[in-house]
Structure 1
Amino acid sequence: MKSTDHTLDYIIDEMIDTVKNSKDEVFEIAEESRKEYETLEQELAVLKEDVATVIAEGDILEKKSNLSRKKLSEVSKNFKKHSEDKVKEVYDQAHQLQTKLVVTRDKEKALRLRRDEIELRLKTIEQMVERAEGLVGKISIVLNYLNEDFKEVSELISDAHEKQEFGLKIIEAQEEERSRLSREMHDGPAQMLANIMLRSEIVDRTYKKGDVDSAVQEMRNVRVMIRDSLYEVRRIIYDLRPMALDDLGLIPTIKKYISTLEDQHPNIRFKYQSTNERLHSHYEVALFRLIQESIQNAIKHAEAGLILVELDISCEKVVATITDNGKGIEQSEKKDKSFGIIGMHERVEILGGDLKINSSEEGTGTRVSITIPVEQENTTAN
């Protein structure tokens, strides 16, 4: 019976951890979606100005082209009155104006198409954020249910097999939800790739029409978009679950993660002390996410010039400290707490640990201290 109770406790812990991870990912999706929404809004404003400018340019070119064709017609009717050079000059001018008009109208069409795509994407993101916020509320209810009322459910479900089946169904439902959210996240890169295809077509048409300078500039823009798309895909895949965490363990995964941030922030130092034992999977996942969130907060919000990550793993506990020399956390943010900080507190509480965030009011940095007790049975030899 004791063995059965231990198994049931483990299943409950796994369910709570799975639900909590889902909540964290929903928070991340909502925050990333809001950032994408703001970026697209800015791009849309610029596009609208560009469309108006191109339309005005096209109207002017159309008037000039009409006048040029009219002049060419008059010259053609009185061909003998004009020299050959004069006729050639009028013809070349009409041809150049017509070519510029076609290129301008094509550019206008492409800009209008991109504008419509962004407006549609903004509506989709708005709906996604609304669904994410609704999902956060539902997950919070599930967490409260698991943390506060699960004992009553356990008394009602007397059979151990029924308890196990009940727990596995909850885990399966959460995994399906995470898969759905992952598919939605791919809409971002998919949209970027569609835009790359559109811009490459513009390059092709522009080059064929002889406007080499415009074609070269469009090619530069396409390269930037390809680089951004590749970075976004890699970031999404890595954030979902670092594969190195299962294969190599916590410390190598942190090293690899920090190395991926060298372009974004080159001054991140990592110091560690550890026994020759691996922690249980849910400890390693939780610690990695906590350290990842702390580093991202220091980079994005604190604007830190130097970040120091220290990790001490012993048989009894794990102590992680993330210190930066940034501008600190504002008092309003400490009071209300951001999604990320809330998630960190809840993750540490589930593991029975302690989280302290000390930030100087003078803007001289922030220190995040995480202490998590480790049971001896939850470590395995490397």
Structure 2
Amino acid sequence: MENKMHIEQLKKIIHDLNKNIESSLREDKKSILQVSQEANELLLKLQYELNMITEDIKDIIRQLENLQNEYEYSKKELINITNELKNNNGHNNQNKYKGKYNHTIQIYTMLKEKQKIEKEMQDKRKDLEKQFKEVHELSKITTESINRVNIIIRELDNHEDNINKNNYKNKIAKAQEFERRKIAREIHDGPAQDLGAIIMHTEIIKKYIELDKGKAKEQLTILSELAKDTLKYMRNILYELRPLDFEDNEYESIIVDYVKKTKEKYGMNVETRFLDPENMLNKLESSVKLNTFRIVQESLNNIKKHANATLVKLKMEVVNNNFVVIVISDNGVGFDMKSKTDSYGITGLYERVELIGGDIRIESEKNKGTRLKVQIPLNIERTLKIS
């Protein structure tokens, strides 16, 4: 009887845990939906602006065509008057020449001004098209995230009463929370603050637009720069979150390509070394490839942000066809392991390695660099796919 009661208690605990996970996922789904809605609203706004600027460009082109025709006609008349002057030096013809000459110069000046305006409009349209493309990519990512969350929720619903799924569901919850915090930090530190500043400058422009057009123009310049910086930051986030194609590309080449882009972008000197004589890395399951890639990615990001290193060494090795071993070391400033482990993005690495059943060891001293070693078993029964 006592054992039966104990079993029922365990079932209740697991049931409650599953409900909490579902509730958390549904709340996160709401947050993603909100981001998706904001992205879609921004897409509509950008589409409207694109339509408006396109119509303005069409109008300025029509004006340019009319001015061009008028300019050509005026030039011909000027030539005719010049020929008349050659044949007849009458005073009236000279006055007529001066008048027509000034009129031609005036048309020419207007033509050049309109051409300048058209170029500015074309540049603005290109910038809007670029923004539209970036926001469209963000919208696609949020849609994919919602689909992934829906799949996880359905999985939880289908296996709610299965006690053996408890550990798996806890991993899903941890992974989801881990990724949510990571994306939230990235958005909070960059685009969220920039968008707040953009809104503030928009309100300022509204006040100045009628009262002081000069100041309004200054604020528009500031607003444009803020928008460009926000797009640049978003491009970096999108690059880091982009889906990876392990089916059509060699795993080693994906790592090498990422390291190359990191070196080019941030000036980091990264040496890579692969010890994989039987090409086991390329035979790994996609989930293992994905998680080892993210470990490398997050480690290099931590070094970029905190280490101030001039040299980074990355080694990936398959040991006895049983383990993938990743060793990353740098000659940066290092840190005190006793007091700073939570300050350098290390917690996230521990969480990710734990989720896929691996071991991690980090060694560091002040002014002596940092060494990270991760060992992941290849016989993982069910490796959680964390993007």
Whether TM exceeds 0.5 here: the answer is no
Q: Work out which of the two has the higher radius of gyration on C-alpha atoms and give 1 or 2.
A: 2
TM-score, structure 1 length as denominator?
0.44
Higher relative contact order (CA 8 A, sep 6+): 1
TM-score, structure 2 length as denominator?
0.43
